[in-house]
Amino acid sequence: MVESDRKKFVEIMYGVADNFGGQISREGYLIRFQAMQDLTIDQVSLAATNLINNRSKTFPAVPTVKEFRGALQSASAPTVSMQTMAEIQAGEVLAMLRKGGRNASGSFRDPTTAHLMSRRWPYKSWAAQVMEKDLTWWKKDFIAAYIANAEVEHAHIIALPGSNPATKRLEDFAKKIGGAR
C-alpha cells in the first residue's frame, strides 16, 4: 500500500471493527497499516470481505493482522471441488496399495480418508483381500463415500446433528454407504 491508500484503509478497518462490534484506535489502524504495507489496498479489501463473510470467532472484536493475512490467503486460494479432492485421495490410497501392499502403514493425513480407510475399509484387511479387477469399482465407491462424508461434516458445521431434516437425511444417506462418523 502507499500513503494515498491510508484513507481507504482506515475506512476498511472501521468497517470491519464495526461489523464485529469492536472499536479500533488511531494507533491500532496505524500499526495495522504499517504491518500490511506489503499488501495492496485491493488485497486488504478482499481479506476484509472474506473475514466479514466467514469469520466465526468473535474475540478479539477487531481481527488481527495475522487473521487478515489468513483471510487473504483463503480468499485467494484456488478451490478444489469435492469430487477432485475425493479422486486425489482415492489415488493416494491406491498408490499406497501399489507401493506397499498390505504391509504399508495405512495411515493417511486427510481425516476423511483416514476415517474411511479405518472404518469402512480397514486398510490392512482391505489391502490383503482386494483384487486388481475390483479397484475400479472400489474407487467409485470410495469417491461416493468421501463426498457423502464431507457433506455430512459440512451439515454438522451448519447445524447440530439431527437438528434439522436436511442434516438427518444426509446422516442417513452416509450411513447407507458407510461414510458416517
The number of distinct structural domains making up the chain is 2
Give residue 123's Cα distance to chain centre.
25
Q: Where are the alpha helices (DSSP H) in 55-109?
A: 65-76, 82-100
Both 100 and 72 in a single domain? no
Q: How far apart are CA 92 and CA 112, in angstroms?
A: 13
Rounded average pLDDT over 99-115: 90
Instruction: For the chain, list the strands marked E by DSSP.
Output: none
Give the range of the structural domain holding residue 26, as residue numbers without chain letter.
3-76
Rounded average pLDDT over 87-108: 92
What three-state secondary structure class fits 181?
Answer: coil
Residue 160 has pLDDT above 60, yes or no: no
Residue after which a domain boundary falls, among 76, 95, 126: 76
Residue 18 has pLDDT above 80, yes or no: yes
Q: How far apart are CA 101 and CA 123, in angstroms?
A: 10
Q: How far apart are CA 164 and CA 156, in angstroms?
A: 10
Backbone angles phi, psi at 143, to 5 degrees: -60, -45
| Contacts of residue 108, Cβ cutoff 8 Å, sequence gap at least 6 | 89, 92, 93, 96, 114, 117
Residue after which a domain boundary falls, among 15, 42, 76: 76
Residue 27 has pLDDT above 70, yes or no: yes
Please report the pLDDT score of residue 180 as a whole number.
47
Both 173 and 107 in a single domain? yes
Task: For residue 164, give the amino acid letter.
Answer: N
Both 104 and 159 in a single domain? yes
Both 87 and 63 in a single domain? no
Residue after which a domain boundary falls, among 76, 103, 125: 76
